[in-house]
Amino acid sequence: MVRDVVIGMSDGLTVPFALAAGLTGTAAATSKLVVVAGLAEIAAGSIAMGLGGYLAAKTDRDHYENELAREMRETVELPDKEREEVAEVFRGYGMTEEQIQPVVAAIAGDQKRWVDFMMRFELGFSEAPNPARARTSAATIAGSYIVGGLVPLSAYMMTADLHQALLVSVAVTLIALFLFGYVKGRLTGISPFLGGLRTVVIGGLASAAAYGLARLIS
């Protein structure tokens, strides 16, 4: 859930922010144009990001199920090979052959336990992906993108003065980026201040590049 919020919110704050700043740099820009274009981008971006999250989670689930079926089949058709793979795991921990053999026999004595062991220690699956994960991931990413995207556009919704709207948008978005990075830092164990600063720098560079390019072209 935290990862999905990070993905959706970070893109939602930076992409519409960069678009609004870039459009502000064009000669024909108006607040209405920026808002309409920004809302269209948020709609398209949230759908695209949500779909990407859904497909990624669905792929993880399909991959897990395919590997689970393969491991179950191999414990029946290739038991000696699978026992050797179990033994190889314990050799990596420095155990002797005398210590390994009874452990392998105990694990291989129950197929479910055997397959679970192979899934975890050979293939690196800590647990089976939740079947509802794909839908939840899509909704979380899309919703976070929409919330983040409305922050930079809010200034353009409140005033027709593009210059003033840009300044307010920059201020509120940089504050939102910092707060988002700060919270993300606390949740992920890095320095909250460093997380906020890093997020501000990335978002600020993206917006400055878009604005400068638009000014150059116009």
pLDDT digit string (tens) for 106-149? 988 888 888 888 888 888 887 777 778 888 999 999 999 999 89
Q: Which residue segment(s) compose the domain that 185 sits in?
A: 1-218
CA distances from residue 122 to 32, 34, 36, 117 in whole angstroms, order as listed = 56, 52, 51, 8
Residue 124, classed as helix, strand or coil, is coil
Number of domain units in the chain: 1
Stretch among 71-85, 105-119, 187-201 having the lowest mean pLDDT: 187-201
> Which pLDDT tens digit goes with each residue over 21-45?
778 767 677 888 888 988 999 999 9
Q: Which two tokens stand for residue 160?
A: 């027709």
User: Which amino acid does the sequence have at 113?
Assistant: R
Identity of the amino acid at 77: E
Instruction: Note whether 174 and 203 are within 8 A (CB).
Output: yes
What would the mean pLDDT of 159-166 be, rounded to a whole number? 85
Higher pLDDT, 157 or 184: 157
Q: Inter-axis angle of helices 133-158 and 162-188, to 10 degrees?
A: 150
Distances (CA, A) of 153 to 20, 35, 43, 203: 7, 6, 13, 15
CA atoms of 16 and 146, how far apart (whole Å) = 10
Query: Do residues 195 and 181 touch, judged by C-beta distance below 8 A?
Result: yes
Determine how many CB atoms are found less than 10 A away from the CB of residue 145.
29
Express as a percent the part of the chain with pLDDT over 90: 16
**Inter-residue contact 128 to 71 (CB < 8 Å):** no
For residue 147, which amino acid is it? V
Please tell me the predicted confidence (pLDDT) of residue 48. Answer: 93
Question: Do 148 and 12 contact (CB within 8 A), yes or no?
Answer: yes
The whole-angstrom separation of Cα 117 and Cα 86 is 8
- Does the predicted model carry a pTM greater than 0.85? no
| Residue 216 backbone dihedrals phi, psi, to 5 degrees | -65, -40
